[in-house]
């Protein structure tokens, strides 16, 4: 998520432009422009973790989120240090089974979800820099969507200049018959997810990506010692 924010601001600022004096001083007070108002979109019933940004993208069980204070204002000067951010969520498609008997209903369900994704990206009060999604919602109730839905999600994010983060912590490393679950989506070359996260079964935690511009352009911005490797 932090990489997505830095990537977005780097594009806005200009590839070769350095930080302004105002950015350097304002970020130390958690104020814009150094601390801009940006957002990550997630889906209802998603689970992405329990800490700060990931908790703000988790919507599977109330117990994970209780007592996480919601910011009282979008004015950074009045924010407290809190683990929940006012980021958007849209409903994940709720398919009906058996699939072969509900093809039309399920296509409409997925199309409605995609329309809400694009509408939210365009209308949310702060820029949505990334959409994060699980190939199969596990913690949130074993919820599935078709490859066509995920291809549509990839199309929307590319068209709107938004990164697609695929959370493969639970689905990766062979759980679905391919090493990564998103390999089953039939994405064209060049349409791969911008970021794929992994953990647990991998015996390591991390993320991989394809675009070298996701590597911070200065040291100490994201990692003190090790940088992830682009693939």
Cis ω on the peptide bond leading into residue 33 (within 30° of 0)? yes
Show Cβ contacts of residue 138 under 8 Å, excluding neighbours closer than 6 positions.
47, 170, 171
φ/ψ (deg, to 5) at 105: -60, -45
C-alpha 164/C-alpha 47 separation (Å) is 16
Beta strands (DSSP E) in the chain are 39-43, 89-90, 128-133, 163-167, 195-198, 206-209
Q: Is 127 helix (H, G, I), strand (E, B) or coil?
A: coil
Rg of the chain on CA atoms, in Å: 18
Residue 197 main-chain phi, psi, to 5 deg = -100, 150
Whether 173 contacts 126, CB under 8 Å: no
- 129 close to 40: Cβ distance less than 8 angstroms: yes
Catalytic center residues: 47, 167, 200, 225
Residue keyed to tokens 């990550």: 40
Cα 27 to Cα 127: distance, rounded to the nearest angstrom: 18
């Amino acid at each position: 998520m932090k990489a997505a924010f830095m990537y977005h601001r780097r594009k806005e600022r200009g590839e070769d432009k350095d930080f302004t004096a105002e950015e350097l001083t304002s970020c130390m007070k958690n104020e814009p422009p150094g601390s801009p108002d940006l957002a990550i979109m997630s889906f209802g019933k998603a689970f992405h973790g329990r800490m700060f940004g990931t908790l703000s993208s988790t919507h599977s069980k109330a117990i994970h989120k209780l007592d996480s204070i919601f910011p009282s204002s979008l004015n950074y000067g009045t924010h407290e240090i809190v683990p929940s951010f006012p980021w958007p969520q849209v409903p994940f498609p709720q398919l009906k089974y058996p699939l072969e008997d509900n093809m039309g209903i399920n296509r409409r369900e997925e199309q409605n979800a995609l329309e809400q994704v694009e509408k939210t990206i365009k209308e949310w009060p702060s820029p949505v820099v990334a959409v994060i999604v699980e190939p199969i919602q596990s913690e949130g109730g074993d919820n599935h969507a078709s490859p066509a839905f995920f291809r549509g999600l990839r199309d929307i994010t590319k068209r709107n200049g938004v990164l697609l983060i695929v959370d493969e912590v639970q689905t990766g490393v062979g759980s679905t018959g391919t090493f990564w679950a998103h390999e089953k989506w039939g994405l064209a070359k060049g349409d791969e997810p911008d970021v794929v996260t992994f953990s647990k079964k991998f015996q390591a935690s991390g993320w991989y990506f394809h675009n070298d511009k996701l590597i911070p352009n200065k040291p100490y911005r994201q990692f003190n010692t090790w940088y992830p490797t682009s693939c």
